[in-house]
Structure 1
Amino acid sequence: MAAPLERLERIMLATDGTRHSRAAEAAAAWLAKQSGAGMSALQAVIGDTGYPLMVPGDEHAAVKDARDHMAELCRRMAGEGIQCQPLVSPAANPFQVIVERAGETGADLIIMGRRDRSDLSRLMMGDNTAKVIGHAPCPVMVVPKSASVPWHGIVVATDGSEFSERAVATAGWFAKELKIPLRVLAVVTGREGDPDAAGARRVADAAKTALADVDTLADCAVERGRPDQVIVSYANRHGADLIVVGSHGRTGLARLMVGSVSERVVGHFDGAVLVVR
């Protein structure tokens, strides 16, 4: 289980070199400038068959293209005063490479893009992303191509679970570091085992207490409905650019899976989503 974010010294940017990763690259650069963090930029290269490219001298065209993209990306970062380490790795399972490199480089945060999907498949975040979140040694931020920086507001959703408490602590760190408004949201679902209205208010108040040292805390709200829909709607109404959620709710799931609420929030929100476990 990853710890809540309490510092940001190293960012791992996982990019595929396509337009789907441009917003993730921009978010990583902006966050690195705001925090003073260093960065490792990784591109995992997969062959057409799904197997890693193992060519002597790494001269395969796909590997060369990835190296060229990483070199150009890190040159741009250097031009903005950001220390950037380019990494290119042939990979059969991209999530394994991302998780391993994050551990090797001591990353405090992984940032990765999100591909467009149909309305149906957007209900799920994608196997690779889910596995990165399930195995990563740190929080994972998923950034769709529609997202932009700078951020103007953060929403953290909580149900009082251990994962949510970690999400609240991480959101508080971001709000203090970036000096932007933070809103806490607890949702009444009406499902057995979930907090009722009074319980949700207690959860929201507990988060408020935990965030007592956050000067930009703007609201601790309780709303009713299906959690993923309420969270995204609330964030949109309040102009939030970042949603922070725990990877699992009170029901919990196996380590390879991510809770359906966080999955759906990642799939449907047009801004960045930070998943903490």
Structure 2
Amino acid sequence: MPKHILVATDLSPRSDRAVFRAVRLAREHQARLSFVHVQDDSLPDDLLAVRQASAIEQLERFAAHVADGLDYSLLPCIGSPAATLIETIQDQAPDLLVIGVHRPRSLLDEWRETTAQRVVRMTDCPVLVVRAPDDHAYETIIAATDFTPAATAALNLGHRLAPSARIVPLNALHIPYEALLGAGGAVAMSTNTISASFRAEAQDADSAWRAHHALPIGLGHTLFPEAGPFLAVANAVTETGAHLITVGAHGRTGAHRSLLGSVATDLMRNPPCDILIARPIA
């Protein structure tokens, strides 16, 4: 269970959901809670001083109200938001970062990373991206899995955060060239054969995964929808009423964006519900 939770807030109503979820988790796990607010240093110095003083006062009032009775601290910072947050994580070494969804930026979203994506890419810290209001516990979790250590680490962390939640593993089956094969006669038989082959291979991987990894007791049967990963997860969230998705961040931390993994990247950019991203424990 987490002993230290770091929550990032820009003091906007959009980020309040992340704060309330972090406070809930801190209470449930008796964890220490740190509030970090980064004032962008691109402002003129005179305006920056006024903004920072106001932000600190607002942060103090807000934290005292929502975190009453908790062991908490305030970390007001000045700097580039993403870079400063990464430095804070490296300095504080929290067990979990909680952050809200990013602001929509139209065409810029196609080219620029969100703060959460950059944090996951550049640090080992697990990240919980909060989309939904904190009016419920995590009762159902969709665990996106490709049976790798990263996906397993995310699933197990989700279980530690919400030990009473039902966990439904999901492995999306992407059938190559399925649309080109058509749906008639011998071609349909070929499509069914290919689909069955991919499903059998995935089921074998699932059996090996369950046999060789420490997984939560009572883990549900794995779903094998035939769809792209994002669509498969989004549909499963709708069908099950899930409140949380877990997904692994592939590869090592580093400068190249491909190290994050396309599934984690897509889900973090437009999550159907809250999403937890983690790397394997070294």
TM-score (norm 1): 0.81
CA 260–146 in structure 1, closer or farther in 2 if over 3 Å, else same: farther
Q: What residue number does 1:4 align with?
A: none
**Displacement of 1:165 after TM fit?**
2.6
CA 123–266 in structure 1, closer or farther in 2 if over 3 Å, else same: farther
1:109 pairs, out of 80, 96, 99, with: 96
**Displacement of 1:214 after TM fit?**
2.6
Identity, in percent, stands at 20
For residues 212 and 261 of structure 1, what CA distance do their matches in structure 2 show? 22
1:130, 1:256 within 8 Å by CA — same for their partners in 2? no
For residues 206 and 112 of structure 2, what CA distance do their matches in structure 1 show? 27
CA 78–166 in structure 1, closer or farther in 2 if over 3 Å, else same: closer
Q: What residue number does 2:237 align with?
A: 235
2:75 pairs, out of 80, 87, 94, with: 87
For residues 146 and 13 of structure 2, what CA distance do their matches in structure 1 show? 35
CA 180–145 in structure 1, closer or farther in 2 if over 3 Å, else same: closer
What secondary structure, in the 3-state scheme, does the structure 2 residue paired with 1:70 have? Answer: helix
For residues 267 and 253 of structure 1, what CA distance do their matches in structure 2 show? 19
CA 82–44 in structure 1, closer or farther in 2 if over 3 Å, else same: same
For residues 129 and 114 of structure 1, what CA distance do their matches in structure 2 show? 8
CA 207–169 in structure 1, closer or farther in 2 if over 3 Å, else same: farther
Pairing 1:70-85 to 2, within 5 Å after superposition:
70-79=59-68, 81-85=69-73
1:184 pairs, out of 169, 185, 188, with: 169
When Rg is computed on C-alpha atoms for both structures, the one with the higher figure is: 2
Q: What residue number does 1:132 align with?
A: 119
CA 59–264 in structure 1, closer or farther in 2 if over 3 Å, else same: closer
Q: Which amino acid aligns with 1:187?
A: A
Pairing 1:187-226 to 2, within 5 Å after superposition:
187-191=172-176, 196-209=198-211, 210=213, 212-215=215-218, 217-226=219-228
For residues 227 and 253 of structure 2, what CA distance do their matches in structure 1 show? 21
1:204, 1:222 within 8 Å by CA — same for their partners in 2? no
How many residues align? The count is 257
RMSD between aligned alpha carbons?
Answer: 2.9
Extract structure 1 runs of 4+ deviating beyond 6 A.
Answer: 118-125
CA 220–132 in structure 1, closer or farther in 2 if over 3 Å, else same: same
CA 267–30 in structure 1, closer or farther in 2 if over 3 Å, else same: same
CA 70–191 in structure 1, closer or farther in 2 if over 3 Å, else same: farther
For residues 238 and 108 of structure 2, what CA distance do their matches in structure 1 show? 21
Q: What residue number does 1:272 align with?
A: 274
Q: Which runs of 5+ in 1 are unaligned?
A: 1-6
**Displacement of 1:211 after TM fit?**
5.3
Q: Which amino acid aligns with 1:232?
A: A
TM-score (norm 2): 0.80
2:124, 2:278 within 8 Å by CA — same for their partners in 1? no
Pairing 1:38-187 to 2, within 5 Å after superposition:
38-47=32-41, 51=42, 60-79=49-68, 81-92=69-80, 94-117=81-104, 126-144=113-131, 148-176=135-163, 179-187=164-172
Q: Deviations over 1:178-218 (max 9, x none)?
A: x11111111111259xx921232233334544355434x33
1:175, 1:214 within 8 Å by CA — same for their partners in 2? no
